[in-house]
Chain A
Amino acid sequence: MREQLIQYVNLLFAGVADADEIKQEILQNTLDRYDDLMDQGKTPEAAYRLAISGIGDINEILSSATATDIPQATPQPQQNNVIGKLESIGSKALKACAIALYILCPIPVIVMAMIGMETLGLCGTLGMVAIATVMLVLSRGDNGSKQETTKNNTEAPETELKKSVRSLIGAIGFAVYMIVSFTTGAWHITWLIFPILGAVRGLVFAIMDLKENN
């Protein structure tokens, strides 16, 4: 019966990759139980049956062996840290590209204006702003979903700061718009200050985010 027990455990782990150590440990424990039951005077059949029922649901092990994250408030396995780092590098790269786009976004308007195609240039600029904003949102989404649960406390003061920066930029922008519009009288074009304002705000927030992460 002991031989059959070994065969049973071998079959249990047949076809499971990288299960050698698991199998050896489970097998040894099961054999220990079998021997113990035999010492207690159980029949080989009864000991075999009890030893097998003592193994329990093997899927429990197999699913935990493949799962990388353990739902516990304990130090994370290293693999997770690596993934986390890669993700944070990715989100930093996204932010950096977004900042570059914000800085470069006036170029289409200026260049296209030189050859008399202002509308096309404006479309280019707005397009660049749109892409940069999407990148910012994506880069925040990466961090957000993972860290929101743990970082709620540190998040609060940051949003406060951002709120005041946002209103400051808004106020200054509006003042600039009024001053420029009244002094130049070029109302048909001065509204462009607002999209530019949006770009500036995105730029400032992205820089703040980068500093925060460092």
Chain B
Amino acid sequence: MSIAGDLIRGHTDAIILARLLRSDSYGYEINKMISNLSSGRFELKEATLYTAFKRLEEAGFIASYWGSSGAGARRRYYAITPAGKEACHQLMLEWKETKEIMDQLLITEE
């Protein structure tokens, strides 16, 4: 898991953008989605998540706003920007290509 975790962490930006492509969200909700989608096998640390948010926001790929939930807690929500959507599709294509190449490179049977 730890090795796979490192490999997946290299795609943190793509994962976050893909989540936000579906709807605006906030830190824990995104992490919860990541955890659920990976059947509990992968999760990001808060620090990693936050650093990725900052990086993506500075790159203009996501925008943030403060919103409050029913319980009155103020949460920072993130929304994907048009540039972010473009970047997301680009990263998805890159991943598809990487996956195809890796699949080919790791074939052991003739």
Footprint of B on A, CB under 8 Å?
Answer: 21-22, 24-26, 28-33, 36, 54-61, 64-65, 70, 72, 74-75, 77
Contact = CB atoms under 8 A, between A and B. Distances in A.
Given A29-B28, A33-B28, A36-B28, A60 B55 contact: no
B61 A56 contact: no
A22 B54 CA distance: 10
Nearest to B64: A25
B2 interface: no
Pairs A-B, 9 closest by C-beta atoms: A56-B45, A32-B28, A74-B59, A56-B47, A29-B27, A60-B47, A29-B28, A55-B46, A64-B51
B55 A24 contact: no
Given A28-B27, A29-B31, A56-B47, A77 B73 contact: no
A58 B47 contact: yes
B85 interface: no
A145 to B, nearest CB: 23
Number of chain B interface residues as a range: 20 to 34
A56 B50 CA distance: 11
Contacts of B45: 54-57, 60
Contacts of A74: 58-61, 87
Interface string B70-88: 0001111000000000010
Interface of B: 26-29, 31-32, 43, 45-51, 54-55, 58-61, 73-76, 87
Given A32-B28, A54-B43, A55-B46, A25 B55 contact: no
Contacts of B47: 26, 55-61
A57 B32 CA distance: 19
Nearest to B83: A75
Contacts of B43: 54
Given A55-B46, A56-B46, A56-B47, A25 B61 contact: no
A75 B27 contact: no
A72 B49 CA distance: 17
B32 A28 contact: no
A26 B50 contact: yes
Given A28-B73, A32-B28, A70 B46 contact: no
B74 A70 contact: no
A202 B91 CA distance: 47
Contacts of A64: 51, 54-55
A198 B3 CA distance: 60
